[in-house]
Structure 1
């Protein structure tokens, strides 16, 4: 099947061709006809499968059909809610690319940037709003926009929004929408019971689109778990990056403080690294991401919230420095690689106390994750671990010296 067979406006098809998109992905093949038919859709698909275009293309198609009316009033007719700033920017860029040859205007609203700049854009009029819940409510409170004309409402990464506690905010947004007929689309990486319960209260007789079974990972991503003592995780990560010549690796930590600390440690090992987390300004997060994409930085250290929705083309390696507390987050994390048909590698560094977290992931995926001990980094039996000095074989300074000798890295310590 080709995009020309989906009933899309020739303007959109021509723009897709200019972007070298001719064959729709599976989720696009299933969702686009249903959205064009005006039905509510509940869709689940792995990350990197083209979910944004699956809802953006048919919505753009609908807006083009009534473009004359829109230009007269210029009130937003489509609203896309996303959980994070990074995802808002990514969705904005995708919609702008797809609608480049039209006069449709898309505006993004998210925190960490000037609300006045966003207000000025809204006053000029727009057709589509992409927003995080908090910043959208700020604009509504200030009466900077009116959502009474919304005819298309999208919840993207809905599972993450519920996990992050956005349900009350979503309900507040819903109360501001008009009473006119409205098409609602809910897209999620996974379908768990909470999502389905929420969706069926929100959607009207939705069509379910499930490209892959719930809570599964793509076969394009090779997964490996390396058991290692917690005190030697940083050393092992530096060894993997250096010895395997990884030029671009996304590393997940469980805390904001942990992401900052790990970035500093890697820099001291001679590996360019930068952290992104909720404590960073939006400008700092965007600069870090841009530097990572162009190769100025080899390792991007991120928390789950900061990395949600990141789209890094051809990312080959993802590392779980800390195992996620929620098994579903493992699916989201490793979904940053193996996107758009590319192969990827997901490495997990598992300390003894994280075995239960790996067990939970295996139960969720209904599969065993391959485990392998790396020579020189074998974990000590728990009975031999001294809490005051977890690694008895080498002191920390000796470990550093041995690591740098193996990698040929000069220390940056002064």
Structure 2
């Protein structure tokens, strides 16, 4: 297990973070052992630091002394953190900057909307950050322009991954997943997992307050044997049952077939049909008004 660098612990003490939360105490050693994980915990439980600390222990100015760079290796972006909103992205950047201190702020670069893209590209070229934090659209946009090199990236974090699975982010996420951690000449992904399959070089961290089946499916496809971190527990993803047909209990069935409910539903449907017939065919205002009154009465009942 990678231990936190004394300098990193010193910075934590300086900002008043001396006791880890449950999810941090569980996630930090698990991520440090190079496991892909899903971090599930409620808002405000410290999920951001739960993945930031083990990442900062391996990259950037506060990394552990045991994490030596390979000789003649060109430094580049080593961690990409994706957030669904500008607000969350900037919040994560502030957390990183708070830990790094004024001297290490250049190690992180935000790539969010609402900011000048050219200036962001210039900052990437000038500062050569180890960590980029941004929204899918801006990260994919700069990557497509050839200004964001992430093929040698070691970490990919998908914060609020349940929102990142939205259809609106589909194309941008496709590009991010295809390029982050893909090294030239590296092993190709398992084609049975589809084009969004994970590259073996990167460590993927999924973060969410909830873990619906869509998140489980994404983690299985994009991760390598990911573990589920919940507060004090670490569970294999296989412990989460796959989604199956929804079963209806006998009590629910009796409630659905209750005579009063069926009668009210019949009146409501009949009233709707009568109102449509009166309005479209008979053109009788009195019958239409009567049907609407009956319909409202059935709905209230």
TM-score, normalised to structure 1, is: 0.48
User: Is 1:210 equivalent to 2:230 in the alignment?
Assistant: yes
Give the corresponding residue for 2:77: 76
Distance change in 2, residues 1:117/1:70 (3 Å): farther
| 1:153 Cα deviation from its structure 2 partner | 0.6
Quote the Cα distance in structure 2 between the aligned partners of 1:6 and 1:151.
Answer: 15
Give the corresponding residue for 1:48: 44
Give the corresponding residue for 2:97: 96
Q: Between Structure 1 and Structure 2, how many residues are aligned?
A: 211
- SS at 2:58 equivalent: helix
Larger Rg: 2
Contact in 1 for aligned 2:80/2:153 (Cα 8 Å): yes
Quote the Cα distance in structure 2 between the aligned partners of 1:70 and 1:21.
Answer: 35
- The CA deviation string for residues 295-324 of structure 1, in whole angstroms up to 9 with x for no partner, is xxxxxxxxxxxxxxxxxxxxxxxxxxxxxx
Contact in 1 for aligned 2:38/2:228 (Cα 8 Å): yes
| 1:175 Cα deviation from its structure 2 partner | 1.2
Quote the Cα distance in structure 1 between the aligned partners of 2:28 and 2:219.
Answer: 19
Report the more deviating stretch, 184-193 or 101-110. Answer: 101-110
Contact in 2 for aligned 1:74/1:126 (Cα 8 Å): no
| 1:101 Cα deviation from its structure 2 partner | 7.1
Contact in 1 for aligned 2:84/2:136 (Cα 8 Å): yes
| 1:7 Cα deviation from its structure 2 partner | 2.6
| 1:20 Cα deviation from its structure 2 partner | 0.7
Give the corresponding residue for 1:38: 34
Q: Which has a greater percent of helix? A: 2
Quote the Cα distance in structure 2 between the aligned partners of 1:34 and 1:157.
Answer: 19
Contact in 2 for aligned 1:45/1:212 (Cα 8 Å): no
Contact in 2 for aligned 1:152/1:183 (Cα 8 Å): yes
- SS at 2:168 equivalent: coil
| 1:88 Cα deviation from its structure 2 partner | 0.7
Distance change in 2, residues 1:202/1:135 (3 Å): same
TM-score, normalised to structure 2, is: 0.65
| 1:158 Cα deviation from its structure 2 partner | 0.4
- SS at 2:8 equivalent: helix
- The CA deviation string for residues 81-111 of structure 1, in whole angstroms up to 9 with x for no partner, is 1100011100001011112277470001011
Quote the Cα distance in structure 1 between the aligned partners of 2:74 and 2:226.
Answer: 30
Give the corresponding residue for 1:268: none
1:142 aligned to 138, 142, 145, which one? 145
- The CA deviation string for residues 192-215 of structure 1, in whole angstroms up to 9 with x for no partner, is 1111111111110111112399xx
Give the corresponding residue for 1:123: 125
Contact in 2 for aligned 1:44/1:212 (Cα 8 Å): no
Q: CA RMSD in A?
A: 2.6
Quote the Cα distance in structure 1 between the aligned partners of 2:98 and 2:86.
Answer: 18
Q: Point out 4+ residue stretches in structure 1 off by more than 6 angstroms.
A: none
Unaligned runs of 5+ in 1: 214-382, 387-414
Quote the Cα distance in structure 2 between the aligned partners of 1:69 and 1:207.
Answer: 29
| 1:70 Cα deviation from its structure 2 partner | 10
- SS at 1:58 equivalent: helix
2:170 aligned to 167, 170, 193, which one? 167
